[in-house]
Every structure is written in structure tokens, then in C-alpha cells.
Structure 1
Amino acid sequence: MSDAILAINAGSSSLKFALYAAGSLALLCRGGVSGLGGPVAVEASGPVPLATGAPPPAGSNHATAIAWLLDAVRRMPDLVLRAAGHRVVHGGRDYAAPVLIDGAVLDALERLVPLAPAHQPHNLAAIRAVAAAWPNLPQVACFDTAFHRTQPRLAQLFPIPRALTDAGILRYGFHGLSYQHVAETLPEVAGERAEGRVIVAHLGHGASLCAMRARRSIASTMGFTALDGLMMGTRSGAVDPGLVLHLIRERGLDPAAVADLLNNRSGLLGVSELSDDVRVLQESGDPRAAEALDLFAYRAVREAGSLMAALGGLDLIVFTAGIGEHAPRVRAAIAAGLSFAGVELDEERNAAGRGRISRDGSPVAVYVVPANEELPIARAAARLVLGAG
């Protein structure tokens, strides 16, 4: 019999998972359930096959998908599940490290739902679904905000009345599990440069940049919510606060309509009026698609410039996540905008999209590092539940 840790990453319409050996944290299986709420698709791969059986039925929610996943894990021969770890987007001011989940923790995380309404409810639904299907299984919450709690106080402050700051309205930053994985992996990839002035670009449907020094977060483009910073798939990123007031006062939109516009109808989708998918936009001959991609790169360059100021220079850039790993054209556009800082890509390496993609002798080294949010989750669960590591 072998002990295993299950890492769960619940999205709005998907469920990613990975099984790791509890001792070595060797990957046993990883996969996902997509299309929740509609036609469901399942994929799984790894050295230990998942006993999937029939996929969850069409229209399944997170609870159904979790129950299906846990049933599949139960049917894996010679495997004992010891803990489940979860990605939780918002940990607020109080959670700066992974934590074992109990009723009090769950209640506290529920109060943070208004700060991450597009993510937190799904994360908590997954936790509750595991508790319902496997009541005695220890569960661990791992927070996207936790990695950024090392930022200096000035990087966390908004210039607003102090009473609001004291109430917890701060710049929290997100995508922390992705950044944690990069920080842990970077010495093997980049050697001594890993400890220098680094900007990591997590570019996916949600997108952000993180400035690291000594592999610790010192600034991030996302702030109080995951809506801030870069232009994203359907999210606007940073806009003039006066624009929000204009939409309410002059255009007659209520807060719910403004939230829907900025979260679901902006970004690549809003500018292109075609798609939120970079692959679709790159294949389109429509000038609106080209403008959306150009704006995406321009905004990334501008935000990178602000992080360079916070770092006092730049030694290394890392691209990760879906767009960061698989869109050479986007990487090239961002690199071109940062050429003034010494960023020089090698075209063949960039096209291959693996490891170092900068030219030999480039003052700023550039790497592609595959995203892996599940491994930090499994590592935290093993430590808190089993005392491993």
C-alpha cells in the first residue's frame, strides 16, 4: 500500500487535480474535469492510471465532480489517500501560510468571498464536497495571496484613509501558488540569477506579474482583487477609478453591471469583440484581434516597467502559464517592448518555448518555466498532515 496526497485546483467551470506520493511527492497522476455545468470532459495521465470509469454526467457541478474523483481514487489499487490540499484564491490578511481546514477556517474564508467572487466560491465548494464525500480526510488550504505577504508595507498600501487600510483593504496580490512554484524551481533553471531581480509573468486567462528579489515577492500587479493590473482574457485589469464612477453616474450601470463588464466582457474579448483566446486571435485576420494582442503586450510592458522600478533593475524574466508557455508571438512582443532594458530573445529558442529563450550574452536572461500550482499544494499538505518535509 502506498500513501498519496491529492491536490485540487477548482476553477469556475473546471477541476484540476494531481495525485502525489506522500513521501517523495513523485507525481502519480494528474488531470482535470472541464465543462462543469455543461458537457463534461475528463483527462488524466501519469505513471499510475486513474480508475476513472464513466465520466461525471453532463451538467455536473463541483460536488458531483469531486465525488466522482474521490470514487476513482478509492478504486485505485494499493493506494491510501492521506490528505487533500486545495488552492484557495484569497486568504486575506490573516492567512499568510497554508493551514489545516476546520469549521472556523472555512467560516473565515467564506467571509472573503466578496474579495474574490469569481474564484473563492468554487474553491470552498470543492472543500465542502471533499468533506461530504470523505468526512475524516484531513484537508489543507493553500492561498494564492500568501506568497505576497512578504512584500514591504509600502507595496501593500493604497493611498486611502488609514481606517480603511487598518480594516484590511490592502494590495494582496494573487497567482501566489504559481509564483511559489517558479521561486522553488528557479535555482535549478537559472543558477545564481534566481536570487537577483526577477520578474515572473503568469500569463493565462488571468494574468499578472510579480517582482521577486531573493525569490521573495516584493511587488505584484494584482492588488485588492484579481481584477487589477494586466489586461486579461475577459478582465480589464487596471482602469481609472473615475471610469467606474462614470459608468455608474453617466451610463446608469449598477454595481453588478459594472462588475460584469469589467470581469466578463473586457480584456482580450472586449477589445477584439471576437474571443478571449489568444490562439483564436493570432489566427484571425481581423484588425481588432491584432489590436487586442498589441494592447495585451503593451500593458504587460508598462507594468513590467513599474516592477523594474520597484526592483531597481532587472536580471531575469520568467514566462509561465498558458499564454506565457505557449504563445511565442506574445513573448516576443513583450520582449521587444523591454529591449531598452537589455531583453534580447533568441528566435529559435523562443519558438521552441522551453528553458532559456534569450540570446547568449543577453543582459537580461529570459526563461519559460511550466506552471505547476498543484505541487506546492501537495507539499504543504504533506507537511501539515504527515509532518513531511
Structure 2
Amino acid sequence: MKKILVINSGSSSIKFQLIKMPGEIVIAAGLVERIGLDNSAIHYKSKKMNISEQVKIANHEEGLKRIAALLMDTEKGAIANIEEIDAIGHRVVHGGKDFADTIVIDKDVKATIKRLFSLAPLHNPHNYTGIEVAEQVFPNATQIAVFDTAFHQTLPERAYRYAIPNKLLDENYIRVYGFHGTSHKYVAEKAQDFISKKKSKVITVHLGNGCSITAIKNGKSIDHSLGFAPVNGLIMGTRSGDIDQSIIFYMVNTLGYSLNDVSELLHKKSGMLGLTGYSDLREIEEAAANGNQQCQLALEMNAYRIKKYIGAYAAAMNGLDVIVFTAGIGENSSVLRRMVCQDMDYLGIELENYKNNVRSSENRIISKESSKVLVLVIPTNEELEIAKQSYQLLV
């Protein structure tokens, strides 16, 4: 029996779970959200305590230290001392060409993760911070990295290559790597519980502050919206998604932006934030409902982009059996799910509105019985998937 603390540092949040394996028993869990904003908050649940409080959390390091303090708190905590933690499973976004599997973290692994900062500037630095803080707080625990890019190693060459000179792949390893792999893998496997046939064509739609969509044929990732770095594809909280690359040249050569300025803009000032002034979809939906036309248009653009990818991936797989919505927005936004699925009857997608409007933490069907394509909401559990892979490495 092993106690594994899973740390999942996102671009603006930290999810954590302390899980007893292999029994998959969650001892404590929580979320630090809206990091760096005035309304940041921490949520924590264990057998002893269930708390939610709004507290200013300036950065990921501060958030991780608060998590460690809660876990070991004499009144609220879930462990008596740090020796109870056998391993820390870290979600790491970008493994580049170096990591296709889960691995024990050492100095060389850390150096490579740090070298890949430029490929995932909103994530790898925070993942690295999580590792550094965990090494200080839990010095005797085995530190393990689980990479988002690993699940997408099955992409065929025609999907992962870019139409650029071959040497950029051969010498510089520029290709599609893909992200959110632990989430897409987890929900795709859960979707099989709803499918009678073993061979299936599934599209998983991961919608959070970061967003991605994956075509999964017979359990294998065959195409994916994020590429060399996690900024293209769908419209995200602060990231642009797909953009005409000539705009970058125009901004630099004509408008006087530096390359760093453009990177900052596309990663941190674009997406829903750039369109509306808000990065949190809950605020955008509320403003749209109150007549804010910019927010309404942003929602329409967001849904339209997702619909285009669904159509493309249905074509790539020559069919479609299941669509899965997951992650914070995918699981909770009935508005965006409805906008994505409406006027998709050509593909056999029929949403049942009353099912879609139900709030639930359960895996569920939200399509009509007559729908040729099954539409599911499956809450992702990247933490459990990371715990599973970490445990397999320990035993």
C-alpha cells in the first residue's frame, strides 16, 4: 500500500489529491484556483475537514506551500508527518522528444523539463516549481513525472509532421507533440463503459483554461489540436488558439512588436481574455446573459472553433461514435456544450436539453436516445491517472 500525493499545476490553478494505492482511496483532495488574481481561493477536503476560502495567492509556489501546510495541519490535515508520503506524482506538460513514459525525477530530468520552458511557458515553469517545492517539503518521497505529451506518441506521421523542411524535424524535433494526454486517456477509457463495441471512434473535448480536442480511434490518439507547444487549436482562456502566422510577422515587422511581446500576447493576453476582458468562462457567460455582445460573440467563436474540429476529426476517422466533454468548462458549462452540439444533426449529434442542463459529478449521457452519436460528460481525473502511473513505477 502506497500513499501518493499528486500535484497537477495548471496555468492558473493547482489540483491535488492524496491517494492510497492500489485501492484508489482518496485521503484528501483540493484545488487552488485563480492564482495571481484578487479573487483566488483554496478548497480542501478530507475526512476531518471540508473548507473553501477566498485568499490571495500570488503564485504557484505560495499555493503549493499552503497545500503542504493543510495536509500536515494537526486539526485539518490528513497525515501526521511527511514520512507517510511514499511518492509525489507530478503532472508535467511538455516532455519534448525526451520523455514518452512516466519517469522518476532526477537532476537530468529536471534539467530537461527546465530546458523545455520555452515550449510550454504557461505550464512547465509551474510544473518545475511544484517539483522543487515538493523536494523541499517531502525530501524522502520519490518524485515522479507524468507527461501530458506521452498519450499522443501514437499519432501517425501524417498527423504529427509539419509541412516545413525535413531537417527541422530530423535535427530540431519540431513536430506535433500534443497535450492534456492524461485527461484524454482517462476519459476515453471511461467512455468505453458506454460503448458496446470494442472498436470505437471517439472525440474527447477537454475544455478548461487550456483547451484541446483529440481524435481517438480504437483507444489510440490519432490527431490532436495542440501541437509543438500548447497555444494553437481551440480558443482558450488567455491563449489565441489557431492564428494565421503571417499576423506574427506583421506585428513584428510593421507594428514594432518584439518577439517576446508577441509570445506574451498570444499566451497570456489573447483567447477569451483578449475578446472579452475576462478569462473565466463563468464571468463571460454571466455577462453574455446580461446582454454583453462581446461576451456573446466570444462564446459563439469558441463553440464554432470546436465544431470545426469535430467535423475534421469525424472525417479523419471516417465516422464518429462518441463525443466526450470534460475538464472544468466541459463538465460544467451547459451553455457551451449546447452551442457546440446545436445544428450538428448532419453528423448525427442530437443533444437532450434537460439532460444537458443537469449539474452532476457523475459520468453521464446528455444526448437523445435517437442520437447516432453518443454525447457524454465525463469528469476528468488526471490525478487518479497520474497516481496509477506513479504506482506502477514504484512496484
| TM-score, normalisation: structure 1 | 0.91
Alpha-carbon contact 1:139-1:381 (below 8 Å) kept: no
Tell me the distance in 2 between the aligned counterparts of 1:107 and 1:152. 29
Task: State percent identity of aligned pairs.
Answer: 37
2:251 corresponding residue in structure 1: 247
Q: Which runs of 5+ in 1 are unaligned?
A: none
Q: Does 1:187 align with 2:192?
A: yes
1:300 corresponding residue in structure 2: 306
Tell me the distance in 2 between the aligned counterparts of 1:121 and 1:134. 20
Alpha-carbon contact 1:318-1:367 (below 8 Å) kept: yes
2:176 corresponding residue in structure 1: 171
| Bigger mean CA offset, 130-139 vs 28-37 | 28-37
1:363 corresponding residue in structure 2: 372
Tell me the distance in 1 between the aligned counterparts of 2:109 and 2:59. 23
Question: Match of 2:179, as an amino acid?
Answer: F
Change (3 A) 1:227 1:336: same
Tell me the distance in 2 between the aligned counterparts of 1:5 and 1:202. 25
Alpha-carbon contact 2:104-2:144 (below 8 Å) kept: yes
1:16 corresponding residue in structure 2: 15
**Aligned-pair CA distance for 1:57:** 8.4
Alpha-carbon contact 1:186-1:194 (below 8 Å) kept: no
1:287 corresponding residue in structure 2: 293
Tell me the distance in 2 between the aligned counterparts of 1:216 and 1:148. 8
Tell me the distance in 1 between the aligned counterparts of 2:220 and 2:101. 14
Alpha-carbon contact 2:44-2:50 (below 8 Å) kept: no
1:276 corresponding residue in structure 2: 279
Tell me the distance in 2 between the aligned counterparts of 1:207 and 1:119. 13
Q: Which runs of 5+ in 2 are unaligned?
A: none
Within the candidate set 328, 332, 343, 1:326 is matched to: 332
Question: Match of 2:192, as an amino acid?
Answer: P
For 1:77-92, what aligned pairs fall within 5 Å after superposition?
77=79, 80-92=84-96
Question: Match of 2:29, as an amino acid?
Answer: R
For 1:126-141, what aligned pairs fall within 5 Å after superposition?
126-141=130-145
| Bigger mean CA offset, 274-283 vs 252-261 | 274-283
Alpha-carbon contact 2:85-2:138 (below 8 Å) kept: no
Alpha-carbon contact 2:10-2:126 (below 8 Å) kept: yes
Alpha-carbon contact 1:172-1:224 (below 8 Å) kept: yes
**Aligned-pair CA distance for 1:63:** 3.7
For 1:74-223, what aligned pairs fall within 5 Å after superposition?
74=72, 76-77=78-79, 80-166=84-170, 167-188=172-193, 190-192=194-196, 195-223=199-227
Within the candidate set 316, 319, 322, 1:316 is matched to: 322
| TM-score, normalisation: structure 2 | 0.90
Change (3 A) 1:68 1:203: closer
Alpha-carbon contact 1:11-1:119 (below 8 Å) kept: yes
**Aligned-pair CA distance for 1:183:** 2.2
Tell me the distance in 2 between the aligned counterparts of 1:42 and 1:246. 42
Deviations 1:28-77 (A, max 9, x none): 2210234555766321124x33699xx99855644444344334434535
| Bigger mean CA offset, 111-120 vs 7-16 | 7-16
Tell me the distance in 2 between the aligned counterparts of 1:268 and 1:51. 32
1:66 corresponding residue in structure 2: 64
Question: Match of 2:165, as an amino acid?
Answer: P
Question: Match of 2:267, as an amino acid?
Answer: N
Deviations 1:224-254 (A, max 9, x none): 1111101112211011111111111111111
SS in structure 1 opposite 2:330? Answer: helix
Alpha-carbon contact 2:161-2:175 (below 8 Å) kept: yes
**Aligned-pair CA distance for 1:308:** 1.4
Alpha-carbon contact 1:301-1:337 (below 8 Å) kept: no
SS in structure 2 opposite 1:192? Answer: coil
User: For the aligned residues, what is the CA RMSD?
Assistant: 2.3
Tell me the distance in 2 between the aligned counterparts of 1:173 and 1:297. 21
Change (3 A) 1:13 1:278: closer
| Bigger mean CA offset, 11-20 vs 371-380 | 11-20
What is the total number of aligned residue pairs between the two structures? 381
Tell me the distance in 2 between the aligned counterparts of 1:291 and 1:60. 31
